[in-house]
Amino acid sequence: MLALLIGWLIGGPVAFGTFLSVFLIGPVMQASLEFWRSRVQVWENDAVARQHPHTFTA
C-alpha cells in the first residue's frame, strides 16, 4: 500500500488493476503459503517414514 501511495505521489499511473493487485496479493499469498506448508509437511513425513519404516507402523 505504501509503495502504491509513493508511486502515485511521484506521478505514476494508478488504475483499477493497481488497487486490485494491492488488496488481493495478501490473501492470495496467505492461501498459497498455507497450501504449500501443508504439502511440505506431508512430504517430510513421508520421507521420514521411508527412512524409518519400523518406527511409524500403524
Q: Tell me the pTM.
A: 0.52
In a domain, 10, yes or no: no
Residue 31 per-residue DSSP state: H
Question: What's the number of domains the chain is made of?
Answer: 1
Domain of 39 in residue numbering reads as: 15-58
- 22: Cβ contacts below 8 Å, ≥ 6 apart: 1, 4
**41 located within any domain:** yes
Domain membership of residue 47 (yes or no) is: yes
Residue 1 lies in a domain: no
| Per-residue model confidence (pLDDT) at position 46 | 80
The series of mean pLDDT values per 10 residues for the chain, 58 residues long, is 90 88 90 91 78 64
Residue 34 lies in a domain: yes
Q: Residue 23 domain-assigned?
A: yes
In a domain, 4, yes or no: no
Whole-angstrom Cα Rg for the chain: 21
